[in-house]
Amino acid sequence: MYAVYLFSITWAIVQSLPQGAPPSVCQTLMPFHGGGIRPQGGLSPYTIVPRRQGNHIVVTMTSALGIPFQGFLLQGRTPDRDIIGQFDSSSVNEGHPLDCGTPSDSITHNSPNDKNSIDVVWSPPRGYEGPVIFNATIAQEYETFWVGLESDPVHVTKRGANDPQFSFPLHNNGPTPPNYIPRQVKQNSAEFDPFYQGCSVTKLCFGSPANCVESKNCKAAVAVTVAGDKYDFELKAESSAVWVGVGLSEDDKMGDDSVVECVKRGNGIAAFMSYTNGNPNYGAPRLPNPQLGIQLLNSSIQDGAIYCRVRRDALTIVNGKAFDLIGKKYNLLIAAGSSLKQSSVGFHDLTYLASAQSQALADVSALAAKSKLLIRLHGCFMIAAWLGTASVGILLARYYRQTWMGRQILGKDVWFAWHRIFMLLTWALTIAAFVLIFVELKAWSGERNPHAILGTITTILCFIQPIGAYFRPHPGTAKRPIFNWLHWSIGNAAHILAIVTLFFAVKLTKAELPDFVDWILVAYVVLHVISHLILSLMNCIADRSSERRVTSFPMKDLGGPGRNSAYSDRSSDAPYSNFRRGLLAVYIVIILAIVIALIVITALAPIAESWTSFKSAVAPTNAN
């Protein structure tokens, strides 16, 4: 089966050249090689030189450096880029005419044999006067080609109906730059990006975020094709990336992996081999021979986006470890980042994703991404705990001790019963989230972000809080004030740290959260602070109106004997209790809306790609 597959791929590549260019590329001059190979940039080693021969023009395509080429497409064009004239195919054994607008107005190759030079005869249309520029695409080989090469202009005049005259400017003996810019119809890149052509049909594709290959909007992606006893890796990344890499791993974790990386270097791209370190010293230092077993075939930077095609040997020995692309299966790790180090790439701060299972690289079937369920649950649990249950529980304990007086739940005051329920939920959700993230990572986070440290401190404070509450001294005892202050300090410190930790979570690569989540968190903070200010103010007004001097600071309510004598009447609510209950209801509704919104965003992350896919799915329906 492998031999059959290898033959089919090789045959497909060979067959893309012999018949020459198809009519579909007449206007763009852009060959469709490999479903996404980009043309070369910079100067071309080939020249297009026209010269007069009687009433015709002989156009010569050659290389001053003696570099042969395999394929070509040649046209004569006016300054308005209209294709004109007629080529005499009988004048050349290596080409045949192509009818782009009129018969024989273009000419292309017959076979992929090496050609050192091609001479072809061109005649202008009858009655035409004006300049003509010869444009060509010349392919050195299948993966290496230049698009839109130009000749010097030729000016056509006439003395008689069948006697055209030609004038030539002084010829520049150097190669002409590819100044011709093909006219291309602007298409939605998510639908027409040629990189994705052939995925799951002729090549193995994998990208980040998950399922982006199907929607054709990956932040970073890799495509693998078999080329004889070599493997070609195509890599691409979005415009903000300065590097993109693919790792071959025996599991879905980073560490002891062979990496092919493409890096922006000046106006071009360089390819290197590197090897990843695992926990605790995460990194991807380059090999002493960074080109071991690889060859950069093609590369480009278009609108800032990186593209490269790297050919890799089927067997390489990296750090004493054999990577056999034919005999072994591998997980793919795709990553991209915006920074570089002295001898390695920087952190994958733009995107990172591992495949869910290992797969033979010659198997072009769809490769699923590793599930991020545990990461999503971790985020959702922490949001529900610290923006939801903790916020309401803290508010109840601080401002609602003198509300719902005379009523109890299971023998406890209403405020205390609900406070205990909300805080136990906070404790359970936090511990569960903490366990889930360590089950997922099986190590300490490798990101340079204080989220992990702050989250661990928050979890420790949360864990000891109910233990201290269980052993609290009885009200009125000498040690009760100490407990009150410790309980209040630890609880508020944990809550503040948790909110700060959530802000840092937005910047985590694995979280894939949009930046606007920061503003939702800011809205929560504003709501929480305003609610505290209003309730504190209402407590002060209630104290004055009832001519009682009980402070609104709750820790003093249980400070010791006689400290809350003003509230000795336990049968009635404090003044303005209805207002406080109404404010609590509004607070809970808004908090619930914020929590639900953030949980949905976290669960569906990356939400931007999900929204794009949704709009693409419903667009045809709306159009109808």
Q: Are 300 and 317 in contact (CB under 8 A)?
A: no
- The pLDDT tens digits of the residues spanning 270-301 come to 999 999 886 666 778 899 999 999 999 888 88
pLDDT at 237: 93
Phi, psi values for residue 296, rounded to 5°? -75, 115
Tokens of 530: 């305003």
Number of domains in the chain: 3
The Cα–Cα gap between 120 and 92 comes to 6
pLDDT at 330: 95
Same domain as 203, residue 314: yes
Is the residue at 172 inside a domain?
no
Q: Spell out the residues 6+ positions from residue 84 whose beta carbon is closer than 8 angstroms to its own.
A: 76, 77, 78, 102, 105, 124, 125, 128, 132
Residue where one domain finishes, among candidates 354, 384, 401: 354
Same domain as 385, residue 348: no
pLDDT at 571: 58
Q: Which one, of 151, 102, 95, lies nearest residue 121 by Cα? A: 95
Q: Are 362 and 226 in contact (CB under 8 A)?
A: yes
pLDDT at 255: 84
Is the residue at 620 inside a domain?
no
For residue 437, the domain's CATH number is 1.20.120
Q: Which amino acid is at 283?
A: G
The Cα–Cα gap between 62 and 523 comes to 67
- Tell me the pTM: 0.55
pLDDT at 570: 53
Same domain as 403, residue 274: no
The Cα–Cα gap between 470 and 465 comes to 9
Is the residue at 305 inside a domain?
yes
Same domain as 216, residue 151: no
Tokens of 143: 């993966």
Q: Tell me the CA distances in angstroms from 137 to 67, 147, 203, 598, one per residue in order.
A: 15, 4, 25, 52
Tokens of 406: 């005379």
Is the residue at 621 inside a domain?
no
For residue 292, the domain's CATH number is 2.60.40.1210
C-alpha radius of gyration, the chain, whole number: 35
Is the residue at 133 inside a domain?
yes
Task: Answer positive or negative: Cα dihedral of 140, 142, 145, 148.
Answer: positive
Same domain as 331, residue 211: yes
Residue where one domain finishes, among candidates 136, 167, 198: 167
List Cβ<8 Å contacts ≥24 apart for 450-455: 450/504, 451/501, 451/504, 451/505, 451/507, 451/508, 454/497, 454/500, 454/501, 454/504, 455/382, 455/501
Low-confidence ranges of the chain (pLDDT < 50): 1-17, 160-161, 170-191, 548-568, 610-624
Q: Spell out the residues 6+ positions from residue 224 whose beta carbon is closer than 8 angstroms to its own.
A: 203, 204, 205, 231, 232, 233, 234, 361
For residue 327, what are the β-bridge partners?
none
**Which helix (H) or strand (E) element contains residue 145?**
strand 144-150
Same domain as 218, residue 291: yes
User: Can you say whether residue 328 is alpha, beta or left, with left for phi > 0 and alpha for psi between -120 and 50 degrees?
Assistant: beta
pLDDT at 198: 87
| CB-based burial label for 474 (10 Å; 0-12, 13-18, 19+) | exposed
Is the residue at 120 inside a domain?
yes
Q: Spell out the residues 6+ positions from residue 60 whose beta carbon is closer than 8 angstroms to its own.
A: 47, 48, 49, 50, 51, 117, 118, 119
Q: Are 245 and 263 in contact (CB under 8 A)?
A: no
For residues 278, 282, 288 and 290, what is the CA-based torsion angle, rounded to 10 degrees? 100
Residue where one domain finishes, among candidates 167, 201, 230: 167
Q: Strands 321-324, 315-318: parallel, antiparallel or unpaired by DSSP?
A: antiparallel
The Cα–Cα gap between 204 and 222 comes to 8
Q: Are 61 and 48 in contact (CB under 8 A)?
A: yes
Phi, psi values for residue 60, rounded to 5°? -110, 125
Is the residue at 194 inside a domain?
yes
Same domain as 401, residue 525: yes
Q: Which amino acid is at 63?
A: S
Same domain as 416, residue 502: yes
pLDDT at 206: 95
Residue range of the domain that includes 45? 17-167
Task: Answer positive or negative: Cα dihedral of 522, 528, 529, 530.
Answer: positive
Same domain as 231, residue 131: no
Report the first-to-last Cα separation within the chain, whole angstroms. 45
Task: Answer positive or negative: Cα dihedral of 103, 108, 111, 114.
Answer: positive
For residue 87, what are the β-bridge partners?
122
pLDDT at 106: 92
Q: Strands 144-150, 154-160: parallel, antiparallel or unpaired by DSSP?
A: unpaired
Same domain as 531, residue 459: yes
Same domain as 480, residue 525: yes
